[in-house]
């Protein structure tokens, strides 16, 4: 079974531009989560989508948005890029929503490394 794929793997953008990152989950997985990883802030949760609906959101400004399509593929968009947006963006897919009483293992993709200059 193919793993989680993310495209592109590397991206260089300038301040003020916008960017769209793509994530294809494992076949059959309906939940997709996005994370930002930086040396200073570590791994931070951005949002989670399940059945095309955003189910959970982290503490990021509105410049960060996402969506999920009917085939469970997901995109995240960052508008008006800032230098601080430089990071590794990780996508993870799972069969269901991560929750307190039952946890569906999240499978991570290799990430998209975004550099903002």
Partner 1 sequence: AQSVTQLDSHVSVSEGTPVLLRCNYSSSYSPSLFWYVQHPNKGLQLLLKYTSAATLVKGINGFEAEFKKSETSFHLTKPSAHMSDAAEYFCVVSGDTDKLIFGTGTRLQVFP
Binding site for partner 1 (CB under 8 A): 4, 33, 35, 42-45, 48, 55-56, 58, 90, 92, 97-100, 102-103, 105-111
Nearer to partner 1, 69 or 103 (CB): 103
The tokens of 41 are what?
A: 């802030």
Question: For the chain, what is the largest distance between any 2 Cα atoms, rounded to a whole number of angstroms?
Answer: 43
Nearer to partner 1, 40 or 70 (CB): 40
Q: Tell me the closest approach of the beta carbon of residue 88 to partner 1, in angstroms.
A: 9
Nearer to partner 1, 79 or 97 (CB): 97
State how far the Cα of 10 lies from the Cα of 113, in Å rounded to an integer: 5
Q: Using the structure block, give the residue that is written with the tokens 């076949």.
A: 27
Asked whether the beta carbons of 30 and 48 are under 8 A apart, the reply is no
């Amino acid at each position: 079974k193919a793993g989680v794929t993310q495209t592109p793997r590397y991206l260089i953008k300038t301040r003020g531009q916008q960017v769209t990152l793509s994530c294809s989950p494992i076949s059959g997985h309906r939940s997709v989560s996005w994370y930002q990883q930086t040396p200073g802030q570590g791994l931070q949760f951005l949002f989670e989508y399940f059945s095309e609906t955003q189910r959970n959101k982290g503490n990021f400004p509105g410049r960060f948005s996402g969506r999920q399509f009917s085939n469970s593929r997901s995109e995240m968009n960052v508008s008006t890029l800032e230098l601080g947006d430089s990071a590794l963006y990780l996508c993870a897919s799972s069969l269901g929503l991560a929750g307190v009483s039952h946890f569906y293992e999240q499978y991570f993709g290799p990430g998209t490394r975004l550099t903002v200059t």
